[in-house]
Each structure stands twice: as C-alpha cells, then as structure tokens.
C-alpha cells in the first residue's frame, strides 16, 4: 500500500511539474478575484489533466453506425439531448462522465476521418450561431478547424468563408478540413489568410452569420507552458488581447448583413477578454443588440456547469470533475436592420 502511495505521489509530482508556476500564480490572483470560491474547484480540474474529458464529434460525411455502437458500448451517450432551440439531427456528439480520450485517428490524404475529438463546450458557439442551409457564413478565426467542421455537420452554407491569419495555423486548418470534408464540398469553402480586423472593410455586409472564435489567453494550454520565458511574455502581452478581440468584433459587425447574427467565443475565464469586450461593443456600436441564449444554457445544464450571474446574451462554461468541459465563453449579438 505504501509503495503504491509513493508511486501515486511520484506520478502526481510529475503532473505538478508540468504546470507552469508563473502562469498559475497569475491566474490565482486574477481568478480568485473574479470567480471567488468557484476558482478552487476549476483550478483543480485545469491543473490535473488526468480528469479531463474528450467528446467525440461524428463526421456525417464518413458515417459508420458501427462507431456509434462501439461508443455506446464504452459508456458514451449523446451530449445534446435537451430541448435545444437549435440541434440539427446531423450533428452527433458523444461524451461520457469518466475522464479519458477515445483513440485519435491519423491524417491520411484521401481518407476521411470518422470523428473529431474535442472539448464538448466548443460546440456551444456553433449551436448558438444556428446556421441554416444556404446562409452565407464567415468563420473569422477558423483554425484549428473544429468549429468549421461542426458547422458543416449542422448545415450546408451557401458561401462558407473560413479565415485564418496565422500561417502555421492556416496550414493546420487546411489539413483538418481535408481530413473531414469530401472534395466536392471543400471546393465550396473559401479559405483565406486575411487580417481579421480588415475583413469588415474588405467584405462589408456579405454574411448572414459570423463566428468570432477569437485568439485569447487559452487557460488550459497556458497552464502547461514548458517554456517559462514564453509564458512570461504571453502574460505581459495578455493585456493587449482585449483590444485585438474588440477590433475583430468591430470588423465582424461590418461584415454582417443587417438582420444577421454573430457569436463571439473564447476558451478563457478572463472577464477582460469576455464580458468586458462584449460590453464595450454594445456600448460603442449602436447597430448591434444582445440576443438571449438562456434557453440553450438551460437545455444543456445537465452536461455543462455555467457561471451564475451572467447576462442573458452570454454564458461561461466552468470545468468541474465529471463535467470537465470548458472554459468556454459564448456571447450572441444581432445586427439591426437598416432603417
């Protein structure tokens, strides 16, 4: 028993070693202030990857009933079962309560993957966007591509424009799309490497729906930065992110048609990059209004833990044991019809 305890502590020590103390100290200060007691349980999940969970998003373009049977036999169940305002039958995502990751599939040219492994909370922005067949859609910051793939599981947009400014991430995005989307459909997707802050001026009022899954301080990956110098630099530059996010949102609003809607999302708990950015947009852009997404939150409350006290147009998913999804912030806005 003592030996196994020693081994367990050794393993735990190894895991602890991977956590970047500089980042943890920074988060500790900020999130204790912003989240209060809730931060303690969230921190326990974020700093302990052994309790992380992964959802399995099925690829409708490479369907296999056998896969669904295997997942059910392994204790997985559909993630979205409640009376959601928008849940296309073609969107199938499986999760289970216990930690662990279903085996990943390797990228093979010419072969479509059967599923995509992801954080289940990252599908909430897609569900909030409510894309319908034939709509013109812009995914402003598209890499690594999970949300673009999910949008295509839901509907067939008329024009689907996926943009990724970063060169490396853009290549990653293209590989993701090649792995999940069949050739004739790939040709209908416009992939660009434009500066997202300029798209609104380049393509004004062209889209019915815009997703801004903004560059943010990714709490999960930042906590495990192996390079302390890079981590310190990230934390210094963190203050600049909200300004970039605001500019991307301004651009997205210009790209939206009147009557169109926009979803903003991040994978950070940071208020400065979430509610503060949205409040700034609502206060400075007279032509957008918030859209109530509480019905979606209510319908998914069995699988996700949400921070209480949020406004009706936003939600924040908090990771907790057994429901280790998030962090994921989602907010929805609509562009007013021209008078």
Residues classed as catalytic: 267
Establish whether 141 is an annotated binding residue. yes
- Sorted by sequence, the CB contacts under 8 Å of residue 74 that are 6+ apart come out as 96, 102
- Give one word for 140, left, alpha or beta, with left for phi > 0 and alpha for psi -120 to 50: alpha
Alpha helices, H only, 217-265: 219-222, 228-255
106 CB burial (10 A radius; 0-12, 13-18, 19+): exposed
Q: Kindly state the DSSP code that residue 86 receives in the 8-state scheme.
A: -
Is 195 marked as a binding-site residue?
Answer: yes
146 is in an annotated binding site: yes
142 a known binding residue?
yes
Yes or no: say if 203 and 255 are a contact pair by the CB < 8 Å rule: yes
Among all chains, which residue has been given the structure tokens 């809607």?
261
Peptide bond into 144 cis (omega under 30): yes
Please return the burial class of 250, using the count of CB atoms within 10 Å of its CB with bins 0-12, 13-18 and 19+: middle
Whether the bond between 327 and the residue before it is cis, its omega within 30 degrees of 0, is yes
Q: Which residues are annotated as a binding site?
A: 141-147, 164, 195, 213
Annotated binding-site ranges for S-adenosyl-L-methionine:
141-147, 164, 195, 213
């Amino acid at each position: 028993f003592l030996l196994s305890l020693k081994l367990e502590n050794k393993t735990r020590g190894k895991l602890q070693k991977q956590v970047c103390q500089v980042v943890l100290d920074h988060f500790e200060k900020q999130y204790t202030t912003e989240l209060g007691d809730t931060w303690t349980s969230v921190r326990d999940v974020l700093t302990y990857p052994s309790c992380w969970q992964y959802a399995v998003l099925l690829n409708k373009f490479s369907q296999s009933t056998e896969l669904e049977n295997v997942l059910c036999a392994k204790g997985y169940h559909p993630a979205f079962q409640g009376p959601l305002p928008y849940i296309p039958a073609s969107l199938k995502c499986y999760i289970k309560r216990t930690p662990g990751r279903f085996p990943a599939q390797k990228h093979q040219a010419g072969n479509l993957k059967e599923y995509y492994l992801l954080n289940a909370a990252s599908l909430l922005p897609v569900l909030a966007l409510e894309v319908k067949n034939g709509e013109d859609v812009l995914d402003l910051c598209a890499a690594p591509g999970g949300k673009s793939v999910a949008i295509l599981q839901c509907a067939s947009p008329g024009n689907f424009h996926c943009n990724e400014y970063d060169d490396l991430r853009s290549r990653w995005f293209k590989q993701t799309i090649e792995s999940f989307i069949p050739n004739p459909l790939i040709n209908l997707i416009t992939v660009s490497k434009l500066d997202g802050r300029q798209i609104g001026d380049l393509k004004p009022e062209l889209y019915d729906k815009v997703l801004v899954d903004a560059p943010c301080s990714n709490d999960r990956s930042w906590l495990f930065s192996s390079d302390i110098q890079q981590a310190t630099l990230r934390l210094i530059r963190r203050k600049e992110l909200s300004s970039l996010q605001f500019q991307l949102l301004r651009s997205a609003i210009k790209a939206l048609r009147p009557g169109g809607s926009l979803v903003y999302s991040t994978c950070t708990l940071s208020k400065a990059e979430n509610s503060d950015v949205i409040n700034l947009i609502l206060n400075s852009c007279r032509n957008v209004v918030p859209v109530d997404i509480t019905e979606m939150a209510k319908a998914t409350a069995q699988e996700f833990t949400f921070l209480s006290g949020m406004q009706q147009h936003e939600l924040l998913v908090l990771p907790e044991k057994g429901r280790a999804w998030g962090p994921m912030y989602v907010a929805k806005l609509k562009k007013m019809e021209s008078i």
